[in-house]
Amino acid sequence: MTDGHGAQTQSRQPVEAVVIGCSAGGLAALRILLEAFPAGLGAAVIVVAHSAPDGPSLLPQLLAACCALPVSLAVEREFAAPGHVHIAPANYHLLIEADRSFALSVDQRVCFVRPAVDVLFCAAAEVYRERLLGVILTGANSDGAQGLQAVKAAGGLTLVQDPATAYAGAMPRAAIATGAADRVLPLEDLAGAILVHCPIARVH
């Protein structure tokens, strides 16, 4: 794997979707990350956040206030749309079908949580394969480690927040321990590393 500037990476097709997982401290991290995404982003952004200080139902509104993209809770059978941030609703696992539509599940908790990052990442990896980019942010458990491995195994790209810059370092540390992280970066550098792989349209 090159570091984002080598020929191998440059020859990749742009990603269709960016999946992001976070837990404790996730709201602040997502604000910093998403505020750097331009309105013309040509990839769908799909987020699983275990919790936020203001409650999961408020997460779309809180993120929309600092993001140039529309932000909403994912809805059953809705399509993952380029240039849109979709948030997993509380108490449902979020999956992606082959036609890029969402499916919601009340299957048992994974890593003691629902929605689980692993569930989203594994489902998205099967659909988007090498055109998927997975990102693990701050969090207090190991959810996302297995999912990041699935993204990597399917040919996708994987980024992890440097635990030293995380509110809770357990989730990024678990992801790094799998060996599936292409790059480990400080939070403030993640957006740039994501955008280099995404199609971006000029907005007039």
Q: Tell me the residue length of the chain.
A: 204
H helix or E strand, kind and range, residue 49? strand 44-49
Neighbours of 100 (CB within 10 A): 17
162 given a catalytic annotation: no
Amino acid at 45: V
50 given a catalytic annotation: yes
57 given a catalytic annotation: no
CA nearest neighbour of 196 among 16, 2, 5, 39:
5
CA nearest neighbour of 200 among 18, 39, 37, 40:
40
Residue of 84, 93, 143, 197 marked catalytic = 143
The answer to whether 30 and 179 have CB atoms below 8 angstroms apart is no
DSSP code, position 179: T
CA nearest neighbour of 200 among 68, 63, 99:
68
Active-site residues, by number, are: 23, 50, 143
